[in-house]
Amino acid sequence: MPERTPHTEVEGAESSAFVAWPIELDGVTVRYPNGVVALNNVSLSIAAGEMVSVVGLSGSGKSTMIRTINGLVPATNGTVTVGPHTVTTLRGKALRELRGSVGMIFQGFNLADRASVYQNVLVGRFAHTATWKTMLGMASSEDREIVLRALDSVGMLEKVWGRAGALSGGQKQRIAIARALSQEPEVMLADEPVASLDPPTAHAVMTDLERINTERGLTVLVNLHLMDLARQYTTRMIGLRAGEVVYDGPATTATDADFEAIYGRPIQSRDRLGK
């Protein structure tokens, strides 16, 4: 990795005190108002700077689990700790500040299609900007710089003034990654980030996430339902079935039998993305 050394130097100069955050779930249960128990007494800890995949079928609770980490879904029981914060006790401003340190990307990209790419990435600066400044449309030159650098790092700088809705799926996910990066987060969450993308684009986005982990050193937690992506891009894999952890171990050496245990059925061809 010859280009990594200068890159880390630049990173070091900007934020010399950068330390990724660990994530800890302790006996977390989520029961939705309709009575569905999406997560049942889940305990796990993820070290700072790890790249972890959460694998499971749809309905297994992986979307719920990743949302308890930034408090988008409140835990009914148990505690979630991210870095110095106990997420489950945070409310209001403190919760928004924590979310500012946790980047997140989604299956459906969650961009405002009619707003410009620039505006969409500026969303990542919300937690660092006073509401009245946002109201007046006053982005600081520092925010502007961060937004443009984030767009450049995902190779989308030339689209900055275009509409987000005019882009392809892969490009939209890159914009979403830039939005998350512009938060300058300590942790990156990804909820099925490649499920609506074609195979080559999916690999490109996974490579972006891998780079965020190796070059910037962020803790990355990515929900996947495809076994080959989990094996190829992540070091540790957590298997969820019916809201419970059924596997926790290395991703590269996970056997087909391990995946069958996670899925609760024999492997099918749609469990792999292919090349």
Partner 1 sequence: MTNTLVLPPKPRTWPRNVGVVLALAAMTLLTTLPRLGGVEIDLGSIARNWSNAAERIGMLLQPDLSILPRTIEPMFQTLSMAIVGTVLAAALAIPLSLWAARPTNPNGLTRRAVRFVLNVVRAVPDLVYATILVAMVGVGTLPGVITLILFDVGIVVKLVSESIDSADSAYMEGGRAAGGTQTQINKVTALPQSWPVIASQVLYSLELNVRISAILGIVGAGGIGRLIDEVRGFYRYDALSTIIIEILVVVLIIEVVSNYLRKRLR
Instruction: List interacting residues with partner 1 (CB under 8 A).
Output: 70, 72, 95-100, 102-104, 106, 108-116, 119-120, 122-124, 126-127, 129, 131, 134-135, 137, 176, 179-180, 183, 189
User: In the numeric block, which tokens belong to residue 72?
Assistant: 């988008």
d(CA 111, CA 104): 12
CB of 262 to partner 1, least distance (A): 26
Other Cβ atoms within 10 Å of 73 Cβ, number:
17
CB of 67 to partner 1, least distance (A): 8
Q: Which of 21, 16, 191 is nearest to 102 (CA)?
A: 21
Q: Which of 206, 214, 246 is nearest to 230 (CA)?
A: 206
Nearer to partner 1 among residue 175 and residue 254 (C-beta): 175
Nearer to partner 1 among residue 219 and residue 259 (C-beta): 219
Nearer to partner 1 among residue 192 and residue 258 (C-beta): 192
Nearer to partner 1 among residue 70 and residue 234 (C-beta): 70
CB of 221 to partner 1, least distance (A): 13
CB of 208 to partner 1, least distance (A): 17
Q: Which of 75, 76, 81 is nearest to 44 (CA)?
A: 81
Nearer to partner 1 among residue 149 and residue 203 (C-beta): 149
Nearer to partner 1 among residue 51 and residue 121 (C-beta): 121
Other Cβ atoms within 10 Å of 110 Cβ, number:
14
Region at 41 (left for phi over 0; alpha for psi -120 to 50; beta for the rest): left
CB of 112 to partner 1, least distance (A): 4
Nearer to partner 1 among residue 103 and residue 239 (C-beta): 103
Determine phi and psi for 53, rounding to 5 degrees: -105, 145
CB of 62 to partner 1, least distance (A): 16
User: In the numeric block, which tokens belong to residue 246?
Assistant: 């059924």
First to last CA, the chain: 24
Distances (CA, A) of 124 to 131, 158, 179, 256, 257: 13, 19, 5, 39, 40
Distances (CA, A) of 3 to 8, 53, 203, 215: 9, 26, 21, 10
CB of 157 to partner 1, least distance (A): 20
